Amino acid sequence: MESTRQQKINRLIQKELSEIFQRDTRQMQGVLITVSTVRVSPDLGLAKVYLSIFPSDKGEELLKNIKTNTKGIRFALGQKTGKQLRVIPELAFYIDDSLDYIENIENLLKK
């Protein structure tokens, strides 16, 4: 059960990371990165960020690039949320494949 504070921080980090990824992927035509969910640990030290990447065949490559640039992304997040958060949590990125899973289930049900 998440506290109200955790939920507020989840939404704040999701909003700010979405803006960061939107700004950074403008140069890359045909790539869309969406921050689908953020879950902050109870001590507010770790944020698990779930990304939905389109097209999904480039997902692993883009996730690898994002993981190598985690420090820069965390710094940019700190610049944007420095007034609202005392400590910027460590970021852990994961691929959110729920849309692919839903599509697979729908295809199986149509058969």
> Is the Cα torsion angle 51, 56, 60, 63 positive or negative in sign?
negative
The enclosing domain of 67 has a CATH number of 3.30.300.20
In this model, does residue 11 exceed pLDDT 90?
yes
Q: Is the pLDDT of residue 97 over 90?
A: no
Check residue 46 and give its pLDDT.
96
- The pLDDT of residue 55 is above 90: no
More confident call, 51 vs 111: 51
The total number of structural domains in the chain stands at 1
pLDDT in tens, 83-92: 999 899 999 9
Domain that holds residue 74: 4-110
Least confident of 32-36, 74-78, 95-99: 95-99
